[in-house]
Amino acid sequence: MSRSTPLGLLLALAVAASAAQAQSVAPNRYGKPPPAATGNAYERQQQAAGDARRRQDEATRRAERDRLGIAIDANRQRLEADRARTDRRRAAAANPAESERLRLDYEQRRQAYEREREELERRRAAAESRPAPPAKP
């Protein structure tokens, strides 16, 4: 019985050591795999620079689309606020002629808002239709 204990202990240590060794050479499953070592450093640097340019271009395009969308929405909100303000002023007008003048003034401003919205939408459509720069291999 005393002989089997040291033998069992040695066997247990061998199994534990092989398990520890297997774990130490296992790939890192939580991080990104290392990039392939194909090509030279210059090619990898050029590829990284091209990727960075494409990401920057996409971010610029996204920001422009967002900025134009916000400008279109702000234009719509200004138009609605102007309409509500004009309606209140027309309701409080002293006579029908003053009310009509306020309506005509609002109509001119509404047309200006519409022209601005159309220009913003044209610019947004042009920005979206612009082709992305070609990817360099």
Q: For residue 14, what pLDDT band results from cuts at 50, 70 and 90? A: confident
| Distance from C-alpha of 76 to C-alpha of 120, rounded to nearest angstrom | 12
pLDDT, tens digit (0-9, with 9 covering 90-100), for 99-108: 999 999 999 9
Q: Which pTM value belongs to this model?
A: 0.60
Domain ranges of the chain: 50-129
Residue 96 structure tokens: 């029908």
| Distance from C-alpha of 82 to C-alpha of 100, rounded to nearest angstrom | 16
Q: Under DSSP, is residue 128 helix (H, G, I), strand (E, B) or coil?
A: helix
Q: What is the pLDDT of residue 35?
A: 63
Does pLDDT of 4 surpass 70?
Answer: no
